[in-house]
Structure formats: structure tokens, C-alpha cells
């Protein structure tokens, strides 16, 4: 009987992360502070995702999208009324203001980018699972470094 109870607890612990996605009626606000822009040309485009579908660069699947002005190498946007739970953020330096993440002929990033948890590599932003975080309070700040 003791082993059955322990097995049940283990199963619950394994499946609980599946329920941490945004499911609450409670909401919070996320302030995104981006630094390291190489110039003030264009704008910062920030996409907030609550699932891995479309992350990091397809704003059609984003939970919310915001843009912000770049001043002195930094930009700040605020997402309000965000459902508590799991999210990930991708920001791009949309220098040509076309709403797309541009790449060069080698498929390397042509514009700056950054993600929550500062995840990424040589070819651009990282994946959802490495970028995700839990919004579990009414106000949170996410700092993102823009990479080129």
C-alpha cells in the first residue's frame, strides 16, 4: 500500500507541470526592459507567448505583441492583463520596421534579437522550453539583452 501511495505521488509530480500553462483567471503585468540596441533606427518588437507554438519568431501565434521606441540603446514595453502561468518572450530590433526578423543569405540574424532567460545562439533566438518563465505575481520585470 505504501508503494502505491508513493507511486501516485510520483505520477502527480510528473504531470503537474503540464498544468502550469496560462489557465488562471488572475492576471498580472510584465514589464520588458531591453538593452544593448546598436542604434535607435526602427523599433523594438516584443512577442509574448504562452505556448511553444510559433515561438520565437511567428507573431501570429503570440499571446500578445507590443512595439516600443528605442532611446539611448534601451527600450521598455509593458504587457498588461497577462494571465498568470507559463510564458516566454522574444524581442527583435526591427530596424526596417517590417515586422519580420530579417536574416542574411547564410540564414544568420540580420537584426538584433533577445529572449527571456537570455537563450539563443549563433543562428538566433532559442527555443520556448529554455526561454519560459512563470508569471506568478501581479507585477514582473523581464530583462532582455539584444544580440547581433
Kindly give the pairing relationship between strand 133-135 and strand 27-35.
Answer: unpaired
Question: Which pTM was predicted?
Answer: 0.78
Per-residue pLDDT, 11: 43
In whole angstroms, what is the distance from residue 148 CA to residue 127 CA?
Answer: 17
pLDDT attached to residue 104: 60
Per-residue confidence (pLDDT) for residue 22, from 0 to 100 = 44
Residues 6 or more apart in contact with residue 15 via CB below 8 angstroms: none
* Coil/strand/helix, residue 42: coil
Residue 119 CA to residue 46 CA, distance in Å, equals 15
pLDDT in tens, the chain (148 residues): 444 444 444 444 444 444 444 455 899 999 999 999 999 999 999 999 999 999 988 999 999 999 999 999 999 999 999 999 999 999 999 998 877 766 566 656 578 899 999 987 666 678 999 999 999 988 999 999 999 9
Alpha helices (H) along the chain: 2-15, 128-131
Fold assignment, 22-145: Immunoglobulin-like (2.60.40)
Q: Which three cell numbers stand for residue 73?
A: 540603446
Contact (CB, 8 A) for 82 and 64: yes
Amino acid at each position: 500500500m505504501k508503494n502505491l501511495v508513493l507511486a501516485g505521488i510520483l505520477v502527480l509530480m510528473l504531470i503537474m507541470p503540464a498544468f502550469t500553462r496560462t489557465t488562471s483567471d488572475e492576471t498580472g503585468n510584465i514589464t520588458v526592459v531591453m538593452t544593448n540596441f546598436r542604434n535607435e533606427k526602427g523599433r523594438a518588437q516584443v512577442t509574448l507567448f504562452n505556448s511553444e507554438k510559433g515561438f520565437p519568431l511567428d507573431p501570429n501565434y503570440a499571446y500578445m505583441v507590443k512595439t516600443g521606441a528605442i532611446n539611448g540603446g534601451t527600450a521598455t514595453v509593458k504587457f498588461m492583463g497577462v494571465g498568470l502561468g507559463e510564458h516566454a518572450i522574444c524581442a527583435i530590433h526591427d530596424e526596417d520596421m517590417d515586422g519580420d526578423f530579417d536574416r542574411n543569405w547564410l540564414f544568420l540574424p540580420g537584426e538584433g534579437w533577445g529572449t527571456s532567460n537570455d537563450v539563443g545562439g549563433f543562428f538566433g533566438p532559442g527555443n520556448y522550453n529554455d526561454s519560459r518563465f512563470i508569471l506568478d505575481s501581479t507585477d514582473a520585470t523581464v530583462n532582455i539583452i539584444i544580440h547581433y
